[in-house]
Structure 1
Amino acid sequence: MGRIKKKGTSGQAKNYITRTQAVRKLQISLPDFRRLCIFKGIYPREPRNKKKASKTSTPNTTFYYTKDIQYLLHEPLLAKFRDQKSVAKKIARFLGRGEVSDAARLEKTHAPKLTLDHVIKERYPTFIDALRDLDDALSLLFLFATLPSSDHVPAKTIALCQRLCHEFQHYLIISNSLRKSFLSIKGIYYQATIQGQDIMWLVPYRFVQRVNGDVDYRIMATFVDFYTTLLGFVNFRLYTSIAFTLEGRTVGEQPKALEPSKQTNGHSNNEVSKEVQARVDEVIKSAGLDKDQKEQPVEAAEEDTDAIDRFETAAPEADTLPQPDLSGNEAGALFAPFVFYISREAPKAPLEFILRAFGCRRIGWDVVLGGGAFTHDETDPRITHQIVDRPQLPESSLPAIPAASDAPQKVKAGTRIPGRTYVQPQWVWDCINEGKLLRADLYGPGATLPPHLSPWVKPSRGGYDPRAPLAEQEEEGEAEEAEDASDSDEEMEDEEPVEEKPTVTAEESEDEAEEAEDASDSDEEMEDEEPVEEKPTVTAEESEDESVDGGMDVAGSDDDSDEEDEDEEVEEFEGVEEGAEDESGEDDDDEAARNQHQRELEAEAAGLPFSSNSVADEASKKKTAKSKKLAAKKRQEEEELERQKMMMSRKKRKLLEKMTYSNKKQSEEAAKLRSKRRKLEKAQK
């Protein structure tokens, strides 16, 4: 007989532990347990069977892995939590005695400080692991950087978040690592590529934030403590890599003392360099090394090319291959040759960040937006592009600007400086997402902007693509059906309203009364005449006798059956004729078109007006014939699909039904969007 196993020593009861048991085992409070789990990256688990995992009769909801809790037993942060608890007790004792100065001194000098450096090294053994987990950190830190200071969120935390976020943005500007951005309702999405890793985060708009009491800021503050440590390490590593890159660029360069642009002994080095260069050229020609030098720069240029290859599909039916993003050199040269001026109604912070990340080094703005601008003068002739976000107003409705001697010269709102390109802020985002400069006239002040699409959503096959023309996306016969539906709606609207009964005057009512008396006299005369003989009703027994005697025909007799057979033959013959007409429909259409053209010529020669009713009838006939063909083709495809389903197994048939359902739903949504676009284009025309 085997040994009897004790309950709770194996299986799920051993692998899982409840939260209450974990808190008791670690001998800490519940808030400290939550902080410790956030720092170490331990989260609750869901067992397969809660009854087997629970060691008690009461139902438990939160479970953890037992090995994770055992791993926390040796965590150095536990000792820090216990020290904080003992210091808090001493401070409370001093405050109870009224010794406030001693309590402040104890909190300032003896309060233990938590350091999460060892936690960062444990959770992220490589730098790539830290970059992969940077999305949530950036989103939360950018959120706290925009919050107002309060009792829940101290000003020191906000200042720390702002400093780390600005440091990260400066690295993206210097390295040209920013790739895409999107304006959404939640905020502005950004995507950067750092060492081959795509990092996406969300930055909220700079509105006035209202801090509500529904949010537990203690848990969010714990995440902020961890993420600030993580981003501090990442920024240090990124800035160190930039420093190494800058030092490496100066290794192969000439020293400054040997540069020909320097002057020595009061003489220009240009004269000396000409003589030396002439002697060197003679030596090179005599040695035959001039060809090698001509070839070397070409090879070096070929090696230095940093262009990204583009993948093209081999067949037109193949899927579109994902293309690589811009390189750092291409992104850094997008806005490099331009000088931008940001008007005060446009959002300065995101525009400045994007423009600088894509190569622009000279950006100006109004004085009210702060310092650090290339110029505060809006009339500076070096400005090539100005970003405005106001509609064009008539000059008469604009107030006059008072002249000031010290302040920079301002341009009256609504006026335009010649030779300068005026665009709305969306132009900047669309340009960086497309990787090229778009037409600026489509984004002019007061213009209806094109749709701002997400750069991460790619159009799928069968779906709606707002960038492609509508004619390329429409299905066969979809445009004709939409036109017919619109025409029918217009006809319904153009119909005459129901005629109302006219009001009757007194004289008209007397005439109607006399006519009614004459009609009643004629009805009495008709009643005096002999009534028409009605046919007697026939009972079931009489009908049987009559059918035997042959005096009355009964339904289902031989004569009726013969007549029905003849009708069926006639219908079959007519159907064959219709099929033959369908086969030769193209010849008939051509012949009808020639006859129509001949009638038009005859009417024109005779000087008679030609009626277009026949043309409209023929056009309607063609439309109906085309719609019938499309319906027959669709019916044939459905029948073929049903026949294929009959040959499949049950599993494959279910899978095919799910696929057809999802495709049908997608096509319906695409059809709705196309119909909306069709109506908009028709209204614009």
Structure 2
Amino acid sequence: MPKIKKKGTSGQAKNYITRTQAVRKLQVSLPDFRRLCIFKGIYPREPRNKRKAAKNSTASTTFYYTKDIQYLLHEPLLAKFREHKALAKKIGRRLGRGEVSDAARLERNLTPKLSLAHIVKDRYPTFSDALRDLEDALCTLFLFANLPQTETVPPKTIQLCQRLCHEFEHYLILTHTLRKSFLSIKGIYYEASIQGQDIRWLVPYKFVQRMAGDVDFRIMGTFVEFYTTLVGFVNFRLYTSIGLVYPPKFDKTSDEKGAELGAFTIEGRSVGGDQSVFAAPEKAQENGEDTQLSVAAQAEADKLLAQPSSLEDGDTQEIPATAPETNGVADSSLSLRTGEIEPTEEPMTDETALDTFPAPLSPTADTLIQPSISSTTAANLFSNFTFYLSRETPRHPLELLLRAFGCKRVGWDAVLGEGAYTSEEKDPQITHQVVDRPDLPLPPQPADEEGGTDARSTVSGRERVPGRTYVQPQWVWDCVNAGTLLRADLYAPGATLPPHLSPWVKPKKGEYDPTKPLAEQEYEGEADAVPDEDSELEDATGDNDEGSEEEGVASVRGDSKAKDVETDLLSRDGKEVVSGEGMEVDLAGSSSEDEEDATAGTVEDEFDGFDSEPEAPSEDGTEQHQRELEAEALGKPVHQPLKSAMKPSLSKHAKKRREEEEELVRLKGMMPKRKRKLLEKMTYSNRQKDAESEKLRLKRRKIEKGGRV
């Protein structure tokens, strides 16, 4: 006789465990269980059959994998949690007896310190795994770095998040790994390419944050505690991989004065053990100290920013203090002779440009993906310019983008904080000024004694500086996303800015593409399909732009005659109307009846009609004759219709579309029912997309014509 299988010992009942059972098995409190699960990356699971997993229980509960809970039994943090619980009992006993000093001493000396280093190592065995999971960590840290301090968000947590974020941004500036950025409603999106991994994170705008009452900051604080450990390890690995000392020196006094990125001093570790300080040149100039960079350190910094060209045979290149890398992979040509070992990748030089693939000749062919921005392009995009940021512009995002794309001299107003290259707006070295205010006029040039202009005239803050390019902040973002310098006149102060498009949204085939001309996207006759409001208004009022008063009076008389004609036509109750029957009308467009008949005959011969079927003479003939009479009364030629909404090109497009629909119906009749339903769903979704694209093209057509949307 086979062994009877006991119910609830296999299957989903064994693979899943409830949260109450897990807490009881681990012998911890519910808050500690939540913290432990967040640290270890264990989340609730949804079984396929809740009834079997709960052993026929109908109560609503949360399930976890049984193996995950067994894995938590060997976690060293459980011992720390138990020590903390025992210490809390001792402190409570001291406070109950009124021994406050003893309770404070116990809390200060015996509080267990939690270390999450082993958890980071367990969750991310390789560095690529840590980079792949860095997006949520950066979003959380940048969020807490902009929050105000409260009881739930202590100032130490905010300062730690700010410091880690600034250290990560310094790495982006030194290695030029920042690729794209986008201004959205939620905040500013950034994307960096680090060692082959694309990392995208969101930074909120620096507005006054209102702390919501429905957010549990205890759980958020647990995530921040783990993410700060993770980002600290990542920053250490990134800095040491390029030969920099971590952590960088931090000047608390400069940070309190608003220096932000300028409060850090980056140090490079050379091969012989000497350290060269990579201080910000703008900070050294502001302090008036001659400690910018030594000759050797400057040369090594230049090698870090721009990779050297190929070496000649027999030459030896010394190892720089900061070993440059291309996405984390060191270039072997920097330390080896060229003749001995060939490098795996040819270093990118300034003359080396990315290959661009032309568009395919066939419209049905697939579009080739264009290459992204290279490290050389990012390092030299703004390298030849000196920027000045006006006080109404966002200083920190602009400073990060400009310095990450090669700009070494960025100045701003003194009210924005320390660390600027210059705080003097009239500095003649400034080539570009970023402003976000209405257009500024040029200063008047006073005449000198000889009748000329004085070039040394002073410029006030409300006037432009001659010879300087003024742009709005969007120009920096669009240049970064495009990978090239765009026209500055399109982003001049007070000008209507071009649309700021997301660099990650690529339009698919058949959808509306705002980057392409409208003529390339609309089908044949689409512009003629929609009646133009301006043309209708001109047809109704008459094109008498350059006419005299007599012509104006004639047009008024023509309008009154047209109304009389229309009234007479409506009073005939559908009877056929013959020209000259019962009324006298002055024909302004023709001199005789013979010319009128000839012209009308020519129009009828040229117009093919909208359908191949014969038209009914009783209705369409009357409408055509009525349009001719109205055109004659308005002083227009007879062969021109009053409204141009119906065009032969539109009729051809409608006829072609009707033929395609008929062919589709014929093919659908030969399909099975299941495939026919699927095809109908696909056709419906495609029609919805086409209608949306056509609506967007109509809006753009009206905007380009200067009309209202």
TM-score by length of 2: 0.69
SS in 1 for 2:182: strand
Please state how far the C-alpha of 1:648 moved relative to its aligned partner: 2.3
Separation (CA, whole Å) in 1 of partners of 2:366 and 2:525: 25
2:417 to 370, 376, 380: 370
Q: Secondary structure at the match of 1:375?
A: coil
Pairing 1:421–2:469 present:
yes
Cα contact 2:393–2:436 (8 A) shared by 1:
yes
Residue equivalent to 1:435: 483
Code of the residue aligned with 1:656 in structure 2: it is L
Could you list the per-position Cα deviations for residues 327-355 of structure 1 after superposition, in whole angstroms to 9, with x for gaps in the alignment?
21210100000000001111100000100
1:631 aligned to 2:654?
Answer: yes
Spell out, residue by residue over 1:268-303, the C-alpha distance to the aligned partner (whole angstroms, 9 max, x if none). xxxxxxxxxxxxxxxxxxxxxxxxxxx99xx99x95
- Whichever residue aligns with residue 18 of structure 2, its letter is T
**1:190 counterpart = 2:190:** yes
2:393 is equivalent to residue 346 of structure 1? yes
| Corresponding residue for residue 316 of structure 1 | 362
State the match for 1:217 in structure 2. 217
Please say if residues 389 and 424 of structure 1, whose CA atoms lie closer than 8 Å, have aligned partners that are also in contact: yes
Aligned-pair distance for 1:89?
Answer: 1.2
Q: Which of 380, 386, 390 lines up with 2:427 in the alignment?
A: 380
User: How far 1:678 moved relative to its partner?
Assistant: 1.4
- What's the counterpart of residue 331 of structure 1? 378
Q: Which residue of structure 1 lines up, in the alignment, with residue 673 of structure 2?
A: 650
Residue 25 of structure 1: CA displacement?
Answer: 0.8
1:616 to 631, 636, 640: 640
Shift of 1:153: 0.3
Structure 2 CA distance, aligned partners of 1:135 and 1:621?
56
Structure 1 distance, partners of 2:32, 2:40, is 12
How far is the alpha carbon of 1:675 from its aligned partner?
Answer: 1.1
Secondary structure of the equivalent of 2:64? strand
**What are the Cα deviations for residues 72-93 of structure 1, in whole angstroms up to 9, with x where unaligned?**
1111111111111111111111
Q: Name which of 452, 461, 481 aligns with 2:500.
A: 452
Residue of structure 1 equivalent to 2:140: 140
Matches of 2:442 and 2:400, distance apart in 1: 33
1:661 and 2:684 aligned = yes
**What is the rounded CA distance, in whole Å, between the counterparts of 1:440 and 1:250 in structure 2?**
47
Check conservation: 2:187, 2:202, Cα contact below 8 A. yes
Look up the match of 2:596: none
Residues 378 and 410 of structure 1 are in contact (CA less than 8 Å); yes or no, is this contact kept in structure 2?
no
Q: Report how far residue 412 of structure 1 moved.
A: 2.8
The counterpart of 1:480, out of the listed 514, 520, 528, is 528
In structure 2, relative to structure 1, the CA distance for the partners of 1:62 and 1:250 (3 Å cut) is same
Task: Work out the CA distance in 2 between the residues paired with 1:241 and 1:627.
Answer: 64
- Judged with a 3 Å threshold, the aligned counterparts in structure 2 of structure 1 residues 182 and 480 are, in CA distance, closer, same or farther, namely same
Q: Find out whether 1:41 has 2:41 as its counterpart.
A: yes
What residue identity is the alignment partner of 2:639?
V
Once residues 323 and 137 of structure 1 are traced to their aligned partners in structure 2, the CA distance between those partners, rounded to angstroms, is 30
2:237 corresponds to 1:237 = yes
Q: 1:374 to 1:14 in 2, by over 3 A?
A: same
**C-alpha distance in structure 2 between counterparts of 1:637 and 1:492, whole Å:** 37
The 2-side partners of 1:249 and 1:430 are apart by 40
Partner of 2:189, secondary structure, is strand
**SS at the partner of 1:459?**
coil
Aligned-partner Cα distance in 2 for 1:5–1:584: 79
Structure with larger Rg: 1
Taking a change above 3 Å as real, the CA distance of residues 419 and 625 of structure 1, as seen in their structure-2 partners, is closer
| AA aligned opposite 2:388 | Y
1:525-566 C-alpha deviation (Å, 9 max, x unpaired): xxxxxxxxxxxxxxxxxxxxxxxxxxxxxxxxxxxxxxxxxx
Compared CA separation, residues 214 and 234, structure 1 to 2 (3 A): same
Shift of residue 228, structure 1, vs aligned partner: 0.2
Superposed, 1:143-542 pairs within 5 Å as 143-243=143-243, 303-306=346-349, 307=352, 308-312=354-358, 315-317=361-363, 318-392=365-439, 412-483=460-531, 487=535
Alignment-derived partner of residue 540 in structure 1? none
Name the structure 2 match of 1:546: none
CA contact (8 A) 2:442 2:466 kept: no
Query: What is the CA-CA distance between 1:485 and the residue it aligns to?
Result: 6.8
- Deviations along 1:460-502, one digit per CA (max 9) or x if unpaired, are 11111112111111122210111357655887999x9xx9xxx
Report the AA paired with residue 664 of structure 2: L
What does the per-residue CA deviation read over 1:236-278, in whole Å, with 9 as the maximum and x for residues that have no partner?
0000011079779999xxxxxxxxx99xxxxxxxxxxxxxxxx
Name whichever of 451-460 and 464-473 sits farther off. 464-473
Q: After superposition, what is the alpha-carbon deviation per residue over 1:34-57, rounded to whole angstroms, capped at 9, x for unaligned?
A: 101100000011111110110253
Change (3 A) 1:424 1:313: closer
Which stretch of the first structure deviates more once superposed, 167-176 or 643-652?
Answer: 643-652
Aligned residue type for 1:113 = K
From the superposition, tell whether residues 622 and 448 of structure 1 become closer, same or farther in structure 2 (CA, over 3 Å): closer
- Residues 636-682 of structure 1: per-residue CA shift (max 9 Å, x gap): 11010111112223333233222212211111111111111111122
Partners in 2 of 1:584 and 1:466 — Cα distance? 33
Equivalent in the alignment of 1:124: 124
Structure 2 unaligned runs (5+)? 246-267, 274-294, 297-337, 444-456, 543-555, 561-603, 613-633
Q: 1:250 to 1:104 in 2, by over 3 A?
A: closer
Q: Which residue of 2 aligns with 1:676?
A: 699
Q: How many residues align?
A: 524
SS in 1 for 2:706: helix
CA distance in 2, matches of 1:480, 1:250: 75
Instruction: Quote how far apart the aligned CAs of 1:96 are.
Output: 1.5
Cα distance 1:314–1:461, how it changes in 2: closer, same or farther (>3 A)? closer
2:434–2:470 contact (8 Å) kept in structure 1: yes
Amino acid at match of 1:51: R
Q: Contact 1:385/1:420 (CA < 8 Å) preserved in 2?
A: yes
Residue 115 of structure 1, CA deviation: 0.4
Report the Cα distance in structure 2 between the residues aligned to 1:138 and 1:168, rounded to whole angstroms.
9
Q: Secondary structure at the match of 1:172?
A: helix
Q: 1:477 to 1:2 in 2, by over 3 A?
A: same
Aligned-partner Cα distance in 1 for 2:534–2:508: 29
Tell me how far apart the structure 1 counterparts of residues 467 and 671 of structure 2 sit (CA, whole Å). 69
Kept in 2: contact 1:310–1:324 (CA 8 A): yes
Q: Report if the CA contact (8 A) 1:51-1:59 is conserved.
A: no
What amino acid maps onto 2:45 in structure 1?
A: R
Q: Is the 8 A contact 2:8 2:14 kept in 1?
A: yes
* Ranges in structure 1 where 5+ consecutive residues have no aligned partner: 252-260, 263-294, 397-408, 500-577, 587-609
1:549-595 deviation digits (Å, cap 9, x = unpaired): xxxxxxxxxxxxxxxxxxxxxxxxxxxxx999959999xxxxxxxxx
CA RMSD of aligned residues (A): 3.4
In structure 2, relative to structure 1, the CA distance for the partners of 1:381 and 1:75 (3 Å cut) is same
Contact 1:392 1:414 in 2 (8 A): no
CA distance in 1, matches of 2:678, 2:539: 45
1:53 aligns with: 53
| C-alpha distance 151-622 of structure 1, shift in aligned 2 (>3 A) | closer
**Does the Cα contact within 8 Å between 2:528 and 2:645 map onto a contact in 1?**
no
Q: Structure 1 residue 640 and structure 2 residue 668: aligned?
A: no
Q: 1:584 to 1:628 in 2, by over 3 A?
A: closer
Structure 2: how far apart are the matches of 1:377 and 1:580? 72
1:379, 1:411 within 8 Å by CA — same for their partners in 2?
yes
Match of 1:532 in 2: none
State the one-letter code of the partner of 1:382. Q
- Name the structure 2 match of 1:520: none
Aligned partner of residue 234 in structure 2, secondary structure = helix
Q: Following the alignment from structure 1 to structure 2, what is the Cα–Cα distance between the partners of residues 662 and 388?
A: 44
For 1:316, the aligned partner's letter is: S
- Give, in angstroms, the shift of residue 186 of structure 1: 0.4
